[in-house]
Each structure stands twice: as C-alpha cells, then as structure tokens.
Amino acid sequence: MPTSASKPQPAARAWVRLASGRRIDLLNPSPLDFEDADIAIGLSRTPRWGGHSVWEWPLSVAQHSILVLEIAKARSRRALADRLHLAVLLHDASEGLMAFDPISPVKPFLGAGYKALDARLQAAIHIRYGLPAQLPAEWTALIKESDKASAAAEARHVAGWTPQEIRQALGITARPPSEDLLVRRFGGTPWEPWPARLAAERFRVALAALLPS
C-alpha cells in the first residue's frame, strides 16, 4: 500500500487573479492569460526604487517604461520600427504581472528560480504581442542603454541620490537625459511621478498606439 510519502505531489502553481478577472499561473504563463489593461494596471501599481521617492508618489514601472521609450526614440540615429518601439515599452512588462520590481542589487540573491520565472513571463508577453520570445541582440542593447539612462535620471530626480552617489554608490555611469522627455509629451512638473490611475491610462494608450489596428 503506497504511503503518503510516495503519492504523486501536485504540480506547483502560483495563481494570480488579475484586474480583468483572468488568472495567470506565474510559473507556467500563457500568452492568452492576460489583457492589455492587466499589464497597464499592474505596472502602474508596481513602484521603482523600492517605493522610495522624494515626491508624494513613488515612480511606477508604467511611467518608467514610457520614459525609456521616449529616450530610445530621442537617441536613435534612425526611425525605429513600431515592433521595436513595442519591445522597448514592454521591456519590464513581466513586473506588472508579478507586481514586483526588486532593486538591482537584490536580484542576484533571489536566485535562478526568480530569473527563470521572469524570463518565462516576459517570453509569454512577447508572444502575445507578436514579438520574438527572445529579442534580437541589437534590440536588447538599445533597451539596456535607454533603461540605464532612465535609471540615472530617476536616481537623481525621484529617489534623491546626488550625482556623486549615483556614480559611486549605485554604480550608474550612464548619461541621463538633460530634461524630462515625458513633460514634452504630456506636460506637468518635470520628474514628478504620476498617480497610478494616470500612469495606467497613459501606458494603455501608448500600448494601443503600437498594436496593429
């Protein structure tokens, strides 16, 4: 007679119920498990910089994602295809489904399991929106360059680090944009984080504009 120790163990699952009412298994995600609004809302409620901010609000990953896209557009020597724009906008989209953005020094301590989970979620998102599961190296390089420039600006104007601390304590040497490119597009106060509802709506609109009609 089999013992309890020999009984088959149920498969590990990590269900999350999303704002749309859909549910996604973070450990085994499907490209059909979420809506555009789920990513927009999730990113708008996920803070950068551990949630710390010199402003009333923390900076959301949704706002960060739009800023990275604006930086990529401004620094590219040629016009970028909509598919590349889409990849830039969605570069942190997995964090919206997890509602979790650990600060960079913590990520190595989370181990290979977290890295694999994040990669599976990001691949599912890419497939959902018609992008390669693994992005071309040229695209990845542009995303990383723009992401680091955004981080350099955010560290100074949102998290409150001094330029010396940004270089020495954070190790960020990227050249930040000289102005808040989001103000040029949306107006408002430079570098001020948006409330979650506004960030979600602006991300949703930016996403819709890049999808085939």
What does the pLDDT look like over 104-124, one tens digit per residue?
Answer: 999 999 999 999 999 999 999
17 three-state secondary structure = strand
What number is the average pLDDT over the span 185-208? 98
Which residues, including other chains, have CB under 8 Å from residue 32's CB and lie 6 or more apart?
128
Give the residue-averaged pLDDT of 83-99.
97
Closest by CA position to 52, among listed 198, 201, 193: 193
* C-alpha span between 20 and 69 (Å, rounded): 26
pLDDT at 80 (0 to 100): 77
Contact 96, 43 (CB under 8 A): yes
Spatial contact of 38 and 22, defined as CB atoms under 8 Å apart:
yes
Q: Is the pLDDT of residue 203 over 70?
A: yes
In tens, the pLDDT along 8-31 reads 666 788 999 999 999 999 999 999
Maximum alpha-carbon separation in the chain: 72
Task: Give the integer Cα–Cα distance in Å for 106 and 167.
Answer: 18
pLDDT attached to residue 114: 94
Confidence bin at 6 (pLDDT 50/70/90): low
Domains of the chain and CATH, by start: 29-210 (1.10.3210.10)
d(CA 51, CA 120): 25
Mean pLDDT, range 150-158, rounded to an integer: 98
Percent of the chain whose pLDDT exceeds 70: 95
What are the φ/ψ torsions at residue 191 (nearest 5 degrees)? 70, 5
| pTM of the shown model | 0.93
Rounded Cα distance, 159 and 156, in Å: 6
Q: CA-CA distances (angstroms) from residue 180 to 53, 155, 156, 160, 189?
A: 16, 13, 12, 15, 9
